[in-house]
């Protein structure tokens, strides 16, 4: 049986990088996408040496053309696309009373539109190729719970939740599953803003273990969701948060 093919955005760091490692370990051929070419190429090199069949395609997910190119390139190189992991994201920190409009727009463009573009481009190709694939979107506990100082981030992650539900409903007839993952606090560079605000300790305490999650733990959930055994999970966002949103 030929190996499955997964595209992972934001694969140059954190959750995306850990997922690329997990997926190649699990036998996937992986297309790494990131706007940061240096880090993307480093991960490509690392995984090639370790075991994997991987390629890196520099992609800014806030550009529909670039996301379409990413999907086209995937099919050109590996012949198909089975999994699309729309994971790239950025954090924002700011005040509602003094909004930074550039930051606001950028956050929505990457975190919300980037996921939409991944859903659009991947599903179109999956339908064209008659692939019953899986689309996974990275949401956040902040798509469920309010938090101070991260207005645009909250809005974008709330949108990811609803886009996941809606896309699952519309794409179900083609056998495409659309699911989400809502991590709690994960020890990656994106939470630097929280560190700067001095909010890291209170964030840690929100987890049952009292610690941040590791990116590998979220990668494990993403891998699990690609399994045919997870067929009943569709249109929902799985909490990968060590209880963060529960209490
Ligand atoms: P990270 O900063 O380690 O990784 C994010 C990656 O996305 C980086 O490699 C970055 O270069 C890339 N990226 C940023 N903008 C991009 C763009 N326009 N196009 C393509 N790539 C782009 O952070 P992470 O924690 O691994 O974040 C991954 C996802 O997990 C994000 O969607 C984030 O919102 C979500 N998330 C993270 C946490 C956390 O606490 N770390 C919690 C909940 C959700």
Instruction: Tell me, using a 6 A CB cutoff, whether residue 35 lines ligand 1.
Output: yes
pLDDT category at 199 given cuts 50, 70, 90 is confident
pLDDT category at 100 given cuts 50, 70, 90 is very high
Residues 6+ apart with CB under 8 A from 5: 28, 29, 30, 31, 74, 78, 79, 80, 81, 82, 83
Instruction: Tell me, using a 6 A CB cutoff, whether residue 140 lines ligand 1.
Output: yes
CA of 173 to the centre of ligand 1 (A): 31
pLDDT tens figures, 112-161: 999 999 999 999 999 999 999 999 999 999 999 999 999 999 999 999 99
Q: Is residue 153 annotated as a catalytic residue, yes or no?
A: yes
Take atom 3 of ligand 1 and give the residue whose Cα is closest: 14
Does pTM surpass 0.95? Answer: yes
On whether the CB atoms of residues 183 and 240 are closer than 8 A, the answer is yes
CA separation, residue 213 to residues 105, 122, 219, 244 (Å): 28, 29, 11, 11
Q: What is the H or E stretch that residue 217 is in? A: helix 215-225
Instruction: Tell me, using a 6 A CB cutoff, whether residue 89 lines ligand 1.
Output: yes
CA of 106 to the centre of ligand 1 (A): 13
CA of 120 to the centre of ligand 1 (A): 20
Question: Using CA atoms, how far apart are residues 125 and 34, in angstroms rounded to an integer?
Answer: 20
The pLDDT of residue 198? 81
Give me the percent of the chain exceeding a pLDDT of 90.
Answer: 91
Instruction: List the domains of the chain with CATH numbers.
Output: 5-239 (3.40.50.720)
Residue 88 phi/psi, 5-degree rounding, is -60, 140
pLDDT tens figures, 58-72: 999 999 999 999 999
């Amino acid at each position: 049986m030929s190996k499955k093919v997964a595209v992972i955005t934001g694969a140059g760091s954190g959750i995306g990088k850990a997922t690329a490692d997990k997926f190649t370990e699990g036998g996937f051929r992986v297309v790494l996408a990131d706007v940061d070419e240096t880090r993307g190429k480093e991960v490509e090199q690392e995984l090639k040496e370790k075991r994997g069949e991987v390629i890196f395609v520099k992609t800014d997910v806030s550009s529909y053309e670039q996301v379409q190119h990413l999907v086209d390139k995937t099919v050109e190189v590996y012949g198909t696309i089975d999994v699309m992991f729309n994971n790239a994201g950025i954090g924002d920190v700011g005040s509602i009373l003094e909004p930074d409009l550039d930051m606001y727009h950028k956050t929505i463009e990457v975190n919300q539109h980037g996921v939409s573009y991944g859903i659009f481009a991947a599903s179109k190709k999956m339908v064209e190729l008659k692939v019953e694939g899986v689309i996974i979107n990275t949401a956040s506990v902040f798509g469920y719970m309010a938090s101070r100082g991260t207005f645009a981030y909250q809005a974008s992650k709330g949108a990811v939740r609803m886009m996941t539900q809606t896309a699952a409903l519309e794409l179900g007839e083609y056998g495409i599953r659309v699911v989400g993952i809502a991590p709690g606090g994960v020890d990656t560079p994106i939470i630097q803003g929280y560190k700067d605000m001095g909010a890291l300790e209170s964030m840690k305490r929100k987890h049952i273990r009292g610690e941040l999650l590791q990116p590998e733990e979220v990668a494990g959930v993403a891998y699990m969701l690609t399994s045919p055994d997870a067929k009943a999970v569709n249109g929902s966002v799985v909490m990968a948060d060590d209880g963060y949103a529960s209490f």
